[in-house]
Amino acid sequence: MNATNGNGNVNIVMNGRNIPKNLAGDPCFKALEDIQEVFTEQEIVALVNRALYHKEYMRVHHQKRAEAERALIAPVKAKAKTLFPGTSWLRLTDEQVAQALEALKAEKEGA
């Protein structure tokens, strides 16, 4: 049911496989033996490698996204700290955050 493509990767065809499903319709294997009844060892290794690659990719993606978000918010937090000393970022009102954004915008236009 599988073939390797020119790159040596396993091409896994899902049609015609008797994959157990849960009530939501998602794949639901209970044990390794169940998986081995549906997939070959080569396919299992390829599927696990793909899943691990995907998890690592998503971890790095989320990490980069969080860093970018922090970099965008940092100047606003710094400006809010100067405008509203003693007030925690988490306690700022929407209006105070808007004031900090406006002050940053005015600084940028004046520079």
Each residue's pLDDT, cut to its tens digit, for the chain (111 residues) gives 556 665 668 899 989 999 999 999 999 999 999 999 999 999 999 999 999 999 999 999 999 999 999 999 999 999 999 999 999 999 999 999 999 999 999 998 886
Residue 10, beta-bridge partner list: 4
Which residues lie across from 2 on neighbouring strands? 12
User: What single letter denotes the amino acid at residue 41?
Assistant: E
For the whole prediction, is pTM greater than 0.85? no
Closest CA to 84 of 92, 74, 73: 92
Q: Where are the domains of the chain?
A: 2-110
- Give the per-residue pLDDT at 9: 82
Whole-angstrom Cα distance, residue 87 to residue 90? 8
Which of 22, 18, 14, 12 has the alpha carbon at shortest distance from 45? 12
Range list of β-strands (E), the chain:
2-4, 10-12
pLDDT of residue 5: 61
